[in-house]
Amino acid sequence: MTHLSIAHSNSTGSGHLEAGVVLLLHYKNSGYTFQLIKRSESVAQAGDISCPGGMLEPRTDEMLSHILFKTEMIRTADNGSLNALPGKDEQTASLIRLFLMNALRESWEEIGLDPLNVCFLGALPSYSLTFFSRTIFPVVSLVRDPFDYRLSDEVEKVMEIPVDYFFQSSFYAVLEIESDSGNSDPRYNMKFPCLVVPDGYGHDDILWGATFNIIVNFLQTITGNPVPPSPLSRTVKKMLSPHYASGKR
């Protein structure tokens, strides 16, 4: 398992980080919508769109996952128990509960999401970041009821992106990464598929990288259909600031 491999690697001093994130779905206006966050300038990856969540705090999150195991407060969409997930052995189910509680704890801190206001839909494959020594463990949850967002200083805004956008080719483009300092680091000379989302004020937000890939993988898994390819004829650019990897704190 990825988690166990990381734990073994960290025991030798590698310092690889783990993070639980939750891909939130909400039924709104006769269709499903993803509830994502745009990261503020105070944190690393400023300006990126991501799933709510954050770094694993092993002791805290293990305690919370144990409480979840005992109380069964959070249920699946069909009101099933998280203690016996179909097709999952106990070790795998335990890790799913761990990263679910990790993601929900962070979501409470970031946007004010009540952990009891979700039902669990499933876990997605882990995803290792290109620019950071970090692995993301995504889980998918459905928000039961609308709630008022309470944003921390880590979040610029919550973005609600309809699932339908991901099946319309007009929203896709190729993203070119640039550095505002002319950095020769190869990380700043790469192209990525992306989703271009109008912000309603004449500008666009760009969904790319890990979150883009996590969502595309999820949609292709549940529908069995590929999303449209990013047209090579449409290119957008993103400037990575010198503090992109660390934030302005």
Measure CA 248 to chain center: 21
The pair of structure tokens assigned to 242 is 């010198």
Confidence of residue 48 (pLDDT cuts 50, 70, 90): very high
Q: With residue 235 as reference, give the H or E element that holds it.
A: strand 235-240
**Percentage, residues of the chain above pLDDT 90:** 73
Instruction: Count the domains in the chain.
Output: 1
Residue 23, classed as helix, strand or coil, is: strand
Angle at 62 between CA 46 and CA 83, to 5 degrees: 110
So what's the pLDDT on residue 17? 86
Within a domain: residue 46? yes
Within a domain: residue 247? no
> What is d(CA 2, CA 125) in angstroms, rounded to the nearest whole number?
10
Within a domain: residue 49? yes
Angle between helices 58-71 and 90-111 (to 10 degrees): 110
So what's the pLDDT on residue 9? 54
Q: Picking from 121-125, 185-189, 195-199, which range would have the lowest pLDDT averaged per residue? A: 185-189
**242 pLDDT higher than 90:** no
Within a domain: residue 249? no
**187 pLDDT higher than 80:** no
Q: Would you list the DSSP string of 90-142?
A: HHHHHHHHHHHHHHHHHHHHHH---GGGEEEEEE---EE-SSSSEEEEEEEEE
pLDDT tens, residue by residue, 101-114: 999 999 999 999 99
- When pLDDT is averaged across residues 208-232 and rounded to a whole number, the result is 95
Confidence of residue 248 (pLDDT cuts 50, 70, 90): confident
Look up the domain containing 122 and give its range: 2-240
> What is d(CA 83, CA 247) in angstroms, rounded to the nearest whole number?
38
**189 pLDDT higher than 90:** no
Within a domain: residue 175? yes
Q: What is the largest CA-CA distance in the chain?
A: 54
Query: Residue 125 is part of a domain; what is its CATH number?
Result: 3.90.79.10
- Kindly list the strands in the beta sheet with 172-179, ordered across the sheet, starting from the edge strand earlier in the chain: 204-207, 191-198, 172-179, 235-240
So what's the pLDDT on residue 241? 77
Within a domain: residue 219? yes
Within a domain: residue 157? yes
So what's the pLDDT on residue 178? 76
**229 pLDDT higher than 60:** yes
pLDDT tens, residue by residue, 132-152: 678 999 999 999 999 999 999
So what's the pLDDT on residue 245? 78
**2 pLDDT higher than 90:** no
> What is d(CA 75, CA 238) in angstroms, rounded to the nearest whole number?
40
So what's the pLDDT on residue 5? 60
- When pLDDT is averaged across residues 40-61 and rounded to a whole number, the result is 94
Within a domain: residue 52? yes
> What is d(CA 26, CA 21) in angstroms, rounded to the nearest whole number?
16
Q: Which residue type is seen at 228? A: P
pTM for the full model?
0.90
Confidence of residue 8 (pLDDT cuts 50, 70, 90): very low
If you average pLDDT over every residue of the chain, what do you get?
89
